[in-house]
Amino acid sequence: MSKENLRKKGTWLLFGFVALLLLGCGVGGVATSSPSATSTAAPPVERTIIATATPLPQEWYDSLDAEETLLVNLVDRVGPSVVHIEVTTSLGSGTGSGFFYDTEGHIVTNNHVVEGNTDIRVILADESEVPAEVVGTDADADLAVIKVDVPAESIVPAVLGDSDEVRVGQSAIAIGNPFGLERTVTKGIISALGRVFPQESGYSIANMIQTDAAINPGNSGGPLLDIHGRVIGVNTMIVSDTGVYAGLGFAIPVNMVKKVVPALISEGEYSHPWLGINGYTITPELADALNLPVDQGALVAAVTAGGPSAKAGLRGGTGSVQVPDYPEAVPVGGDIIVGIDGQTVTGMDTIISYLDRTEAGQAVTLDIIRDNESLSVEVTLGSRPQQ
């Protein structure tokens, strides 16, 4: 300790000693005694100091109390809409979540929860257990509808929100059955929007919602809610090195549910809009390696014969070049898509996300570059072939 610090410390110690003396002497001042006076030293007094929290003004707690009350009310209202799904397959048993879509007994969940089932049991909020049957499935969107036969008056359908209105940073609440623990509630925020994830089918789920609300195995198919208790997504997957929650959860946007579920109920399937191309996202590195005229966009690698793009005259690659860090040779010579209906295309994800908001039979205009010439091509979208 420096001399300056010692001097400061000594000053404070002296001040504290003087203060104690003053407190012990009463109002009359400092007591004195003559050298000849006889005095008896008072025994030392032990003092115990108890630290207590300083009370805060009630108004400081008011907003916290309001939020807590809001969440408790939300769980009370939406909890009965959430169900626990137990599935038996030829490979064993599994568990998942779902929520009531209407008073007719239709329940929304993930396709992967009920895929390959031989028996489905649904545990309701009152802990009663009923059998369920599959009404329709969509592996590409990972959505499914199952149905139970229960009285309409005992069903509490969930209220659907608008995922286009969701913003990064807003509250997100998940209710589900992780590891079979029924109606578990977790809370976080919306971490990101517009995520695109490829599926085993080769197609991708677009516009997925990312959240840090804890999601674990068994949460699949359950609702992701906003602070008002409206469904904004269907909890579907996590990204984790261990297989359990690591802070990255993803939900299918509810606006996809609004499109797919009615078709699953009425038809048993949903027709996804289809462009009929395969392509690569153009990066500056790929543009440099292939000597492309732009450093962003989508390079058309192949056009499906007889598909919508082929009928519109779109062209795929005519050769291939091996590019560093690419596992396969990249087709070259195809059209480059730089826009769709006036929206700039930065890569394949842009096209996938845009098509997610279209319908089969709808016409879209593609802005392309072909042989360094800018063109516009109108494509009437088809229905994606069933796998």
Q: Is the pLDDT of residue 87 over 90?
A: yes
Of residues 310, 82, 286, the one with CA closest to residue 184: 82
Q: What is the pLDDT of residues 323-350, one digit of tens each?
A: 988 888 999 999 999 999 999 999 999 9
pLDDT of residue 145: 98
Instruction: Please check whether residue 190 is in contact with residue 210, taking contact to mean a CB–CB distance below 8 angstroms.
Output: yes
Fold designation for 273-383: Pdz3 Domain (2.30.42)
Phi and psi torsions of 364, nearest 5°: -125, 150
The two tokens of residue 164 are 């286009």
Indicate if 220 belongs to the active site.
yes
Contacts of 357 (CB under 8 A, 6+ apart): 255
Fold designation for 78-154: Thrombin, subunit H (2.40.10)
Q: What is the pLDDT of residues 91-133, one digit of tens each?
A: 889 999 999 999 999 999 999 999 999 999 999 999 999 999 9
Report pTM. 0.80
Query: What's the whole-number mean pLDDT along residues 16-41?
Result: 39
pLDDT of residue 33: 40
Indicate if 106 belongs to the active site.
no
Active site residue: 112, 140, 226, 367, which one? 112
Active site residue: 171, 220, 309, 353, which one? 220
Residue ranges, comma separated, of all CATH 2.30.42.10 domains in the chain are 273-383
State the distance between the two ends of the chain, measured CA to CA, in whole angstroms: 76
HEC string of 145-190?
EEEECCCHHHCCCCCECCHHHCCCCCEEEEEECHHHCCCEEEEEEE
Coil, helix or strand at residue 309:
helix
Of residues 387, 362, 365, 385, the one with CA closest to residue 377: 365
Residues in the chain: 387
Name the pLDDT band for 387 (thresholds 50, 70, 90): low
The two tokens of residue 57 are 């003004």
pLDDT of residue 48: 67
Residue ranges, comma separated, of all CATH 2.40.10.10 domains in the chain are 78-154, 163-267
Name the pLDDT band for 22 (thresholds 50, 70, 90): very low
Indicate if 142 belongs to the active site.
yes
Candidates 2.40.10.10, 2.40.50.100, 3.40.50.300, 3.40.1110.10; correct CATH number of 163-267? 2.40.10.10
Enumerate the β-bridge partners of residue 187.
173
Active site residue: 138, 140, 142, 356, which one? 142
